[in-house]
Amino acid sequence: MKSDYIQTTTCQERRKDPIEMFHSGQLVKICAPMVRYSKLSFRTLVRKYDCDLCYTPMIVAADFVRSAKARDSEFTTNQGDCPLIVQFAANDARLLSDAARIVCPYANGIDINCGCPQRWALAEGYGACLINKPELVRDMVKQVRNQVENPRFSVSIKIRIHDDLTRTVDLCRKAEATGVSWITVHGRTVEERHQPVHYEAIKIIKESMSIPIVANGDIRSLKEAENVWHTTGTDGTTDYFNWSELVQLLLCHHLIH
């Protein structure tokens, strides 16, 4: 983490609390974690266009804890970068809790990536393979809860769905019982890439849970975000294309003019 970007005022003492936002009854517009995109300059820009909550790109917790170079490269922030969620790829409860303690003064919470379907992530025991390891997810959440003293620090997870949706509902209920703050659901299975998103599955998960559920998948505009919000009954929507396309349009406008 570069000290030039770290301010003395911690994020928990500033502005909006994500949990309060989810309970407001309004659509929470979230910029999903995006490889190479979601760094500080990008987050600063999308916040100017009504983005309520931003995520960092996915960071490998083990590298983040062990390497100062990785911390400097992967995480920079400033006083206006709030509310902020740091997403980690992890498969070890102790390393994840260590990473969470490092970012705790500068972020509102962490998110455990249990949805990435890329082969490298699955081979390392990260991402979507964790939806089949509920005990490991439970242990990671509990360890972070035990090690981070701030009770307002959120611990969320992002998942994909199973072919058998009852397994997904069971995973979410176990996560909720462990103390997860909210769950983001990408409405595709691990094997699916460009198939239609199963919004009905997200709706069923939402109806089965008490904690906030965020819908993810093929949301490319504010209108689509509102439609998915109403269709699924979720507490927020998050995706990649709407904010990145906005930035590309803004850059094109700047170059033309």
Centre a 10 Å sphere on the Cβ of residue 47 and count the other Cβ atoms it contains: 18
Residues 6 or more apart from 177 whose CB is under 8 A from it?
A: none
Q: Are 82 and 11 in contact (CB under 8 A)?
A: yes
Q: Is 51 a catalytic residue?
A: no
User: How far is it, in rounded angstroms, from Cα 221 to Cα 124?
Assistant: 33
Dihedral, CA of residue 222, residue 188, residue 113 and residue 243, to nearest 10: -20
Residues 6 or more apart from 183 whose CB is under 8 A from it?
A: 156, 157, 158, 159, 172, 175, 176, 205, 209, 211, 212, 213, 214
**Encoded tokens for 186:** 């990408």
Residue found by looking up tokens 């979601």 in the block:
38
User: Which element (helix H / strand E) includes 156?
Assistant: strand 154-160
Q: Which residues pair with 89 in a beta bridge?
A: 60
**82, 104, 116, 129: which one is catalytic?**
116
User: Which element (helix H / strand E) includes 86?
Assistant: strand 84-89
**Encoded tokens for 236:** 């927020």
Q: Are 108 and 82 in contact (CB under 8 A)?
A: yes
Residues 6 or more apart from 249 whose CB is under 8 A from it?
A: none
Q: Which residues are catalytic?
A: 116
